[in-house]
Structure 1
């Protein structure tokens, strides 16, 4: 027989149910409130995370390393990934040469007479001994005497009115091919891809094209100058000796050549300096010996060389590979040198950084070497204090950006302004 609940009992049951439901809701509200009070708010993105999430930045092909000199690392991403660093290779070449050559070193190109002077006639040859100087007849370093004018004046001072012999140019200080073999044939035809020789003249270029025989350009100018000054050149064979110094042409000091190389991102200068690294250590003046010498210098200095590949001095080779850690190591080692940081263009003021960070608080307080090739943009250098002494290392490299070079540059500016 079914049992029926009285109305009074039904009311009591409903009251108990409603009380339990309200208690449950209250407890849930308290727990929720306590959870909201104790939960940590979302953390803001770091400057590096903001940079890597920028639509212009391809995080997978981008490396970043920013740190205090000898201190705290502020940002690091893909720092051990080998990438094309383009012209940032120049800071490696120059940092290497500074370890084996004094900054006051000067290239010396000598002119010798071979034979004897009889009745104002040099019966013999002019011998020009090339030094690998990349600055002859250029306007990219502090003014030095014009080489052709020096020769003409020296001949006149000796009373020489005629030369019965030849002008011979010794280029043996350099050996091997005139260019790195890893350069493209297209680049090698351009002015920025000109070869470097034991005797260079006029930056080995004519307009926007490379000149394959700069000594011939020099000879044409010398013969014209000799004729204009009443000195005849009768090209006859002479094989005798009796050499005597006629002219000793000295370049600007090495620090000025290095500064010009970095400010103008001069590939010819960089390649000649690379060969000089090898020559200074008693090796042949070949590209291969220069590249090997640079790698050996940094290996001896315990640099992180894993993945680093060096095939030239300028960074034009697409076979080169650098890591952000390696570049930072070079920058760190060279940061105490009183000259090195001064070779880098200042942001907002000089060279390839003329418009970078202009009008910001970091204008002229960041000094960096840039590098650019197709799909490559790189920055490597320093943040500076009021006395222009380095305080921070900065390396940013990408081998593929999403929104174009300008957008990537603006993303790098934001990264530096929010990190330094």
Structure 2
């Protein structure tokens, strides 16, 4: 529809106005003036409507008498409000799509918890109960090793010494905590000192004086020799000895075997080995303490801590780990009993800048169900191991390699074999749990650290389930989703 035209002015109306103006010029002029006032007034009102309430200056001018000078009051310029500064924009996060949820749901994992971290960025990629503090089994040896490297240093060696006793021909064998001391020329421990060497030094120092008696001093360690929460069958099954400052071969019946029955008198076994090496099997043997200031007749030293750490990790040697934990506590001044470890190990780990709040440490080997370490803590520790901070590269070089060495030598087979050679980790096993924690050189080139716990209702098949979820994380790499 078209718009309507605007009507033009009517000629008759205009001509009428002109005739009236000519006939009454004065009246028309007055009317026009009045109309102008009205128009001007209306414009002022209209302007007021647009401006709003008249300001002080306008009111003064209108109300002042003609002869008065208007009062002018200025209106202050309002200060503009400061604009709020927007918060920093959060960088976009990558959308990760690779899941290990199916592997984590395997019933063989029992009560499962786990954590995976990007070792380079520190970002936690996967967290399933990662903040839960639980028993670690032998993964505890990684904490013990890191603590020993921080406090003792990689070059520290434990000494076993013989001093003169209080009677002629009496010798005192003083244990310095070296459980690796070989009863013969060698044993399972690399670089172990030999009791034969020690006996030869003593014989030379005595200058032909026969040995009349032997005193055994194991006072460097005190308190319980067996942690109260440990299952005693570990001793008889050959997995661990009592923790004493004096013993030989880790108290193994077979010095060349990693798993070998242990005795209930490791100190006495060490005394018998010493007597045999001296050729003094008929000399009486007793336990006591070396006299102060006694002359040294001989001394031997263990392999350095760097060697013992790697051996303890590779074979998961419980006795060797307990030795390292106890020597660390003594060097710190925390004490020489099991109870000292609760303070000494966390204090040593804190020197790496780790948050140790919440850690519960009751032993050095991980045999106890009473230990408490979270998967998130382990991934943080392993990130520092992967970065080789301080002396932690020694741990990285000593860990078992999947499918190749140590306690991982026969694992990561079949469908998990693609991860073999790309996972270095510490295994753990006690009756109530299986664990695995370490470093993954992932398929996409990223470096991950991980900790997986399978606890409670578990069996030997749990190891394969742990391998499967670890291999899945290897395939995901930095694309691992927390779903």
- Structure 1 length-normalised TM: 0.77
Q: Does the Cα contact within 8 Å between 2:423 and 2:441 map onto a contact in 1?
A: yes
Aligned equivalent of 1:151 = 199
Aligned equivalent of 1:167 = 214
Supply the distance in 2 between the matched residues of 1:240 and 1:313 (Cα, whole angstroms): 31
Shift of 1:314: 0.6
Aligned equivalent of 1:211 = 263
Aligned equivalent of 2:407 = 352
Shift of 1:70: 3.5
Pair 1:415-2:472 in alignment? yes
Q: Which protein has the larger Cα radius of gyration, Structure 1 or Structure 2? A: 2
**Aligned partner of 2:278 among 223, 226, 250:** 226
Supply the distance in 1 between the matched residues of 2:200 and 2:378 (Cα, whole angstroms): 46
Pair 1:199-2:274 in alignment? no
Aligned equivalent of 1:136 = 181
SS of the residue corresponding to residue 395 of structure 1 reads strand
Aligned CA-pair RMSD: 3.3
Residues 20-62 of structure 1: CA distance to partner in whole angstroms, max 9, x if unpaired? xxxxxxxxxxxxxxxxxxxxxxx9973222322445445x533
Aligned equivalent of 2:114 = 63
Aligned equivalent of 1:108 = 159
1:5-404 equivalence runs, <5 A = 46-54=98-106, 56-58=108-110, 61-114=112-165, 123-137=168-182, 139-152=187-200, 154-156=202-204, 158-164=206-212, 166-206=213-253, 208-227=260-279, 233=283, 243-298=294-349, 303-305=354-356, 307-335=358-386, 336=388, 337-358=392-413, 360-384=417-441, 391-400=447-456, 404=461
Supply the distance in 1 between the matched residues of 2:383 and 2:171 (Cα, whole angstroms): 47
Residues 258-315 of structure 1: CA distance to partner in whole angstroms, max 9, x if unpaired? 1110011111111111111211112321111123211233456563445432111111
Relative to structure 1, is the Cα distance of residues 158 and 53 closer, same or farther in structure 2, using a 3 angstrom cutoff?
closer
Shift of 1:402: 7.2
Residues 101-128 of structure 1: CA distance to partner in whole angstroms, max 9, x if unpaired? 110111111112246xxxxxx9231122
Supply the distance in 2 between the matched residues of 1:343 and 1:409 (Cα, whole angstroms): 21
Supply the distance in 2 between the matched residues of 1:69 and 1:315 (Cα, whole angstroms): 28
Greater Cα shift, 375-384 or 202-211: 202-211
Supply the distance in 1 between the matched residues of 2:171 and 2:431 (Cα, whole angstroms): 46
Aligned equivalent of 2:22 = none
Q: Does the Cα contact within 8 Å between 1:291 and 1:313 map onto a contact in 2?
A: no
Which is richer in strand?
1
Relative to structure 1, is the Cα distance of residues 282 and 385 closer, same or farther in structure 2, using a 3 angstrom cutoff?
same
Q: Does the Cα contact within 8 Å between 2:162 and 2:174 map onto a contact in 1?
A: yes
SS of the residue corresponding to residue 407 of structure 2 reads helix
SS of the residue corresponding to residue 210 of structure 1 reads coil
SS of the residue corresponding to residue 419 of structure 2 reads coil
SS of the residue corresponding to residue 223 of structure 2 reads coil
Supply the distance in 2 between the matched residues of 1:283 and 1:131 (Cα, whole angstroms): 17
Supply the distance in 2 between the matched residues of 1:222 and 1:233 (Cα, whole angstroms): 11
SS of the residue corresponding to residue 383 of structure 1 reads strand
Supply the distance in 1 between the matched residues of 2:273 and 2:238 (Cα, whole angstroms): 20
Supply the distance in 2 between the matched residues of 1:352 and 1:92 (Cα, whole angstroms): 18
Q: Does the Cα contact within 8 Å between 1:196 and 1:204 map onto a contact in 2?
A: no
Count of residue correspondences = 365
Shift of 1:97: 1.3
Supply the distance in 2 between the matched residues of 1:55 and 1:225 (Cα, whole angstroms): 54
Supply the distance in 2 between the matched residues of 1:206 and 1:294 (Cα, whole angstroms): 31
List runs of 5+ in structure 2 lacking aligned partners. Answer: 1-94, 255-259, 478-483
SS of the residue corresponding to residue 211 of structure 2 reads strand
